[in-house]
Structure 1
Amino acid sequence: MSSKPYFKKKDTNLHTIAFYNLENLFDTKDDPNTLDDDFLPDSEKRWNKKRYEKKLFKLGTAISNIGFAKSGKAPVILGVAEVENKAVLEDLVKTKHLIHKNYGVIHHESPDERGIDVGLLYQKEKFTVTHSESVPLLVMNDHGERDFTRDILWVTGELQNEEIHILVNHWPSRRDGAELTAYKRIAAAEKNREIIHQITEKDPNAKIIIMGDFNDDPNNESVKQHLIGHDFYNPMERLHTRFRGTLNYKNQWNLFDQIIFSNNFHKFEKGTHSFAEANIFDDSFLKIYKGRYKGKPFRTYAGGKYKGGYSDHFPVYIYLKHHM
């Protein structure tokens, strides 16, 4: 018998599509139009250039590893949440582990009160953008006033000559209680459905990927009843257990970060991409390694306390297989 080590060959036809909530990726400059005062050098959090650059480096390291185990490359498409502006994403793609990947950046300012938006990074060699727009989400609070929240980013492009639509989301938070705020996330799901309708009216066979931090789990009403329908599939549903998720609150795992796609990704046809696998990227380097919070996401801040980690969320990803 040969004693040669066995190396598993990477599948070059696999492409990683990922989503990552970057936990307050703010620059260190004051934007008078947003509530970014917590993330300034003279704030209580003491958010300075050194901390900002350390976070960018760490996020770049994490991103370059998402899906690498099987595909041998960094994500072709990565949706992100909690970014302050386009400049922070441009700084991110210039970091050591991402600079040679030739990522393009898509970002539109949204009216969120905290000034955090969603965005999209894509490898220009593999994905060609043909359309991008910011779709406002109109939700009202209890007083009948508009609750300014994140827009939905709608990007259309060609992944190796196959047209794909991507909707990047960051739904309204549960801050005032999950049940009290559920109607806002249902409104977000319905807004996605409106965009889907718009897309499929023009092209009934359109391939669509919905991703984001939904602030709800796969089994919650907003996702399960108002978003999925008979025409979409949520591979994240089976990943959520008592022991695993993308964020941990009061010792409970949630899987708010999800990637959902139209059923036609289950078809195997030449020249197209089909769904191969879904997972949470929760490698040990992204976790707190000891103490009472062991195994939870190694975050940048816990309360006001600087921890110097990556994010309070783990990224999620799917592999798409390209059929030549």
Structure 2
Amino acid sequence: MTEDKEKHNLYSIAFYNLENLFDITDTDKVLDRDYTPTGRNKWNKKRYERKLNLLSKAISQIGVNETGFLPAIIGVAEVENRNVINDLLDKNELKDKGYEIVHFDSPDERGVDVAFLYRKAVFELISSESITLLVDNFDGVRDQTRDILLVKGKLQGKLIHFFVNHWPSRREDGDTQYKRVQAAALVHETIEKIKLETPNPTIVIMGDFNDDPTNTSIKQHLVTEDFYNPYESIFDKGFGTSTYRRQWHLFDQIIVSKNLLDATEFTFKEAHIFDEEFLKEWKGKHKGRPFRTYIGPWFQGGYSDHFPVYIIVKNNKP
């Protein structure tokens, strides 16, 4: 089996919120002091290395049962900078697996960004850009939130545009849904520009949307008639990727353009949550939930407060 001829010509595309993957250095003009050795979380080299090892273990197993290989594409959220991604890819499970990085620093006040990782053996990068989401808080002050990452490339010769998102968070002090509706509008504004160059483009929209598949920003604004969200039916069955106040949410989703559903050359096959037992709390009141790095200021030593998600696509060319 060669790198460019995966099992049954199947490829996995994944998304994973890595839960505050910070280095241990206090960076100027970024609210990251909690993630330093003297900060609230006592974030030191030992804890950082432990998290990197755990995350690399998790990523190295996503989609392997179906395809025989690590993910062809991985969108990630909550990474502080390019250095932490390099450190992650330098771990044994991911080292020398041929991953390349697309990353831009965004204006998020905490310094967390999204990024796009791809195996160069199966994906040819054509272009990438960072799209700034301009939204204001209730008081009219600009919300320094994450940019949306757009990547254009060919997966085994199939031209695909990828959007990697980490939309504005929910807040207990007010309804922030309007921000996520604006994010959906920005994605579609960009898609209209893509259509000027590429008629009937194949598009994959992934991310932590901070909304479930049935919420307004997703169901009514993002998933228009040209798109299919396989995670809506998964959510309807009671499954999720994270919990809040003992309620499951499925904020992490991968949405595909409908021209991937019945395409003759390249086809969407199925969607999954990667919720293996080793990623879960195994006892106590949090049993079954994602095994987190922190709960509040208390170090748990786990992977992330989110499960990864992934889809399988098939290259039908002989």
Match status 1:193 vs 2:174: no
Match status 1:264 vs 2:269: no
Counterpart CA distance in 2 for 1:307 and 1:145 is: 35
Residue 53 of structure 1 is matched in structure 2 by 49
TM superposition shift of 1:101:
1.1
Match of 1:308 among 278, 301, 306: 301
SS in 1 for 2:127: strand
TM superposition shift of 1:30:
1.1
Match of 1:296 among 289, 294, 299: 289
Residue 122 of structure 2 is matched in structure 1 by 126
SS in 2 for 1:53: helix
Runs of 4+, deviation exceeding 2 Å: none
- Greater Cα shift, 298-307 or 240-249: 240-249
TM superposition shift of 1:267:
2.2
Residue 287 of structure 1 is matched in structure 2 by 280
Unaligned stretches of 5+ residues in structure 2: 1-5
Residue 162 of structure 2 is matched in structure 1 by 166
Match of 2:246 among 248, 251, 264: 251
- How many residues align? The count is 312
SS in 2 for 1:89: helix
SS in 2 for 1:54: helix
TM superposition shift of 1:242:
6.5
SS in 1 for 2:204: strand
SS in 2 for 1:293: coil
SS in 1 for 2:60: helix
Residue 151 of structure 1 is matched in structure 2 by 147
Unaligned stretches of 5+ residues in structure 1: 1-9
Relative to 1, partners in 2 of residues 1:241 and 1:228: Cα closer, same or farther, differing over 3 Å?
closer
In structure 2, give the amino acid aligned to 1:278: A
Match status 1:140 vs 2:133: no
In structure 1, give the amino acid aligned to 2:304: S
In structure 1, give the amino acid aligned to 2:37: P
SS in 2 for 1:260: strand
TM superposition shift of 1:68:
1.1
Contact 1:268 1:323 (8 Å CA) reproduced: no
Contact 1:242 1:252 (8 Å CA) reproduced: no
TM superposition shift of 1:284:
0.3
Relative to 1, partners in 2 of residues 1:308 and 1:241: Cα closer, same or farther, differing over 3 Å?
farther
Match of 1:107 among 103, 108, 124: 103
TM superposition shift of 1:243:
4.0
Match of 1:207 among 198, 202, 211: 202
Residue 213 of structure 2 is matched in structure 1 by 218
TM superposition shift of 1:12:
3.7
TM superposition shift of 1:100:
2.5
TM superposition shift of 1:108:
0.1
Residue 277 of structure 1 is matched in structure 2 by 270
In structure 1, give the amino acid aligned to 2:305: D
Equivalent positions of 1:66-77 (< 5 A) are 66-77=62-73
In structure 2, give the amino acid aligned to 1:60: S
Residue 7 of structure 1 is matched in structure 2 by none
Counterpart CA distance in 1 for 2:72 and 2:8 is: 12
Counterpart CA distance in 2 for 1:248 and 1:180 is: 19
Contact 1:241 1:253 (8 Å CA) reproduced: no
In structure 1, give the amino acid aligned to 2:289: K
Residue 90 of structure 1 is matched in structure 2 by 86
Deviations, residues 118-169 of structure 1 (Å, cap 9, x unaligned): 0011001100111011000000111212111000000001111111100000
TM superposition shift of 1:44:
2.0
Deviations, residues 13-38 of structure 1 (Å, cap 9, x unaligned): 11000000000000011101200001
TM superposition shift of 1:292:
1.1
In structure 2, give the amino acid aligned to 1:63: I
Counterpart CA distance in 1 for 2:91 and 2:66 is: 23
Match of 2:39 among 40, 43, 47: 43
Contact 1:12 1:72 (8 Å CA) reproduced: no
SS in 1 for 2:176: helix
